[in-house]
């Protein structure tokens, strides 16, 4: 009887231990422990070279984890501490330790959206493109100013900006500067498909030349409906071996983007970007043109206009002309209207 009671006691103890262990294991693996009772996802950034303790520090810092020791126990059990992957991870509410560790161990990142536009100068690229990812802006700059690296991508340090096609792209947060540039080259090659290459060939331009002209069109008008007409003017001038005579190239050459009126003194500024002094296209783009401006060049409007200037109503539209005398009349109207506006603004400031 005594022996039987001992066996019953041992069995009961073993059952209690098993139940306790099962309950503990369930708590460890299957009970929500991250973002418990939260309403929104949490975002966890793990930089390159980070270890398990840095991951845990971030989880605790943003109050993502309820029981840090339980998370750490599961992480070590599944050997996540030996294979921490950098990246940006989205954690949904009420994640269990098992779900969280599996997500992080597999490196199942959530991509970020990279959107850029309205870039005028090459030096603005690093700030705009590296802002929401882990790419180092200084490293990015060193690469786009490197003749060897630019040549590797098929450009030089002047034309490298034509590689960037303004759009929205999905990529991982831990993309470095070199990977980012190779991704932009991949998107560039995708953009310049057979159809666009055929259109460029038809107007006897390379993709780089198309983008350079598109940058001038971009600077001349923000009205997509007018862009093919403006592009047609410059194509006509190129075909007649005329100077492009584009005011935005002079502004770019001078480097004073606050200029509201280009004067004769500016037209004499010596720079290969001054298309009043040097024939043909400038050596590089004067901004990063939108897709609409590139398409406007490839599908330019066939007409006989050689001149255009802003309309005197300041609507943003332009008056186009076939002859210089007609253009001079249009330009005089605009100059008179602009002078009147400037006088009124100066008078208002004095009051």
For CA atoms 250, 296, 320, 223, the dihedral sign is: negative
Instruction: In whole angstroms, give the CA distance from residue 23 to residue 30.
Output: 10
Q: What's the structural domain count of the chain?
A: 3
What does the longest C-alpha to C-alpha distance in the chain come to?
Answer: 124
Asked if residue 12 is part of any domain, the answer here is no
Model confidence at 8, in pLDDT bands (50, 70, 90)? Answer: very low
Could you please report the per-residue DSSP string of 186-200? HHHHHHS-HHHHHHH
Asked if residues 4 and 35 have their Cβ atoms less than 8 Å apart, the reply is: no
Residue-wise pLDDT tens digits, 51-83: 999 999 999 999 999 999 999 999 999 999 999
Q: What percent of the chain has pLDDT over 90?
A: 81
Asked if residue 7 is part of any domain, the answer here is no
Asked if residue 15 is part of any domain, the answer here is no
Domain check: are 155 and 300 in the same one? no
Three-class SS string for 248-268?
A: HHHHHHHCCCCCCCCCHHHHC
Per-residue exposure over 162-175, b if at least 16 CB sit within 10 Å of its own CB, e if not: bbbbbeebebbbbb
Q: What is the pLDDT of residue 344?
A: 77
Instruction: In whole angstroms, give the CA distance from residue 111 to residue 99.
Output: 19
Q: What is the pLDDT of residue 18?
A: 41
Asked if residues 193 and 291 have their Cβ atoms less than 8 Å apart, the reply is: no
Domain check: are 200 and 344 in the same one? yes
Q: What is the pLDDT of residue 9?
A: 47
Instruction: In whole angstroms, give the CA distance from residue 181 to residue 199.
Output: 26
Query: Coil, strand, or helix at residue 32?
Result: strand
Reply yes or no on whether the pLDDT at 296 is more than 90.
yes
| Burial of 186 per CB tally in 10 Å (0-12, 13-18, 19+) | exposed
Asked if residue 282 is part of any domain, the answer here is yes
Domain check: are 203 and 91 in the same one? no
Residue-wise pLDDT tens digits, 81-125: 999 999 999 999 999 999 999 999 999 999 999 999 999 999 999
Domain check: are 94 and 148 in the same one? no
Instruction: In whole angstroms, give the CA distance from residue 287 to residue 214.
Output: 9
Among 139, 165, 191, residue at a domain's last position: 191
Residue ranges making up the domain that contains 47? 26-106
Domain check: are 214 and 343 in the same one? yes
- CATH number of the structural domain spanning residue 69: 3.30.1490.480
Helices within 31-67 (DSSP H only): 52-61
Among 176, 191, 206, residue at a domain's last position: 191
Three-class SS string for 70-102?
A: HHHHHHHHCCHHHCCCCEEEEECCCEEHHHHHH
Asked if residue 14 is part of any domain, the answer here is no
Domain check: are 81 and 165 in the same one? no
Domain check: are 212 and 288 in the same one? yes
Asked if residue 343 is part of any domain, the answer here is yes
Residue-wise pLDDT tens digits, 219-250: 999 999 999 999 999 999 999 999 999 999 99
Residue-wise pLDDT tens digits, 13-43: 444 444 444 544 556 778 999 999 889 999 9
| Overall residue count recorded for the chain in this entry | 351
Domain check: are 216 and 306 in the same one? yes
Number of H helices, E strands in the chain: 15, 8
pTM reported for the whole predicted model: 0.86
For CA atoms 8, 11, 17, 20, the dihedral sign is: negative
Domain check: are 81 and 118 in the same one? no
Domain check: are 98 and 119 in the same one? no
In the structure encoding, which two tokens stand for residue 341, read together? 């506006």
Domain check: are 125 and 231 in the same one? no
Asked if residue 4 is part of any domain, the answer here is no
Asked if residue 122 is part of any domain, the answer here is yes
Residue-wise pLDDT tens digits, 303-346: 999 999 999 998 889 999 999 999 999 999 998 988 888 887 77
Reply yes or no on whether the pLDDT at 347 is more than 60.
yes
Among 106, 131, 159, residue at a domain's last position: 106
Domain check: are 162 and 297 in the same one? no
């Amino acid at each position: 009887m005594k022996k039987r009671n001992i066996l019953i006691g041992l069995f009961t103890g073993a059952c209690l231990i098993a139940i306790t262990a099962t309950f503990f294991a369930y708590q460890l693996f299957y009970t929500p422990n991250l973002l418990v009772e939260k309403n929104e996802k949490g975002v966890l950034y793990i930089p390159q070279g980070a270890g398990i303790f840095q991951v845990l520090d971030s989880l605790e810092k943003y109050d993502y984890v309820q029981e840090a020791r339980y998370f750490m126990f599961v992480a070590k059990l599944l050997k996540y501490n030996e294979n921490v992957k950098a990246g940006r991870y989205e954690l949904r509410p009420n994640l269990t330790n098992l779900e969280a560790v599996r997500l992080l161990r597999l490196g199942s990142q959530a991509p970020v959206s990279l959107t850029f536009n309205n870039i005028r100068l090459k030096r603005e690229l690093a700030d705009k493109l590296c802002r929401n990812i882990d790419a180092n802006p200084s490293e990015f700059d060193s690469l786009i100013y490197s003749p060897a690296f630019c040549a590797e991508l098929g450009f030089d340090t002047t034309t490298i900006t034509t590689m960037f096609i303004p759009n929205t792209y999905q990529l991982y947060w831990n993309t470095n500067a070199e990977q980012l540039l190779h991704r932009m080259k991949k998107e560039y090659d995708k953009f310049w498909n057979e159809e666009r290459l055929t259109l460029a060939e038809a107007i006897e331009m390379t993709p780089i030349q198309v983008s350079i002209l598109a940058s001038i069109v971009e600077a001349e008008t923000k009205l997509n409906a007018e862009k093919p007409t403006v592009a047609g003017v410059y194509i006509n001038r190129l075909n007649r071996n005329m100077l492009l005579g584009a005011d935005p190239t002079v502004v770019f050459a001078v480097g004073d983007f606050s200029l509201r009126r280009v004067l004769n003194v500016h037209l004499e500024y010596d720079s290969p970007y001054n298309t009043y002094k040097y024939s043909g296209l400038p050596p590089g783009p004067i901004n990063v043109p939108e897709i609409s401006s590139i398409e406007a060049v490839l599908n330019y409007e066939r007409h006989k206009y050689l001149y255009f200037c802003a309309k005197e109503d300041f609507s943003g539209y332009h008056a186009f002309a076939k002859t210089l005398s007609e253009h001079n009349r249009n330009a005089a109207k605009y100059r008179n209207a602009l002078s009147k506006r400037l006088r009124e603004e100066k008078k208002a400031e004095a009051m």
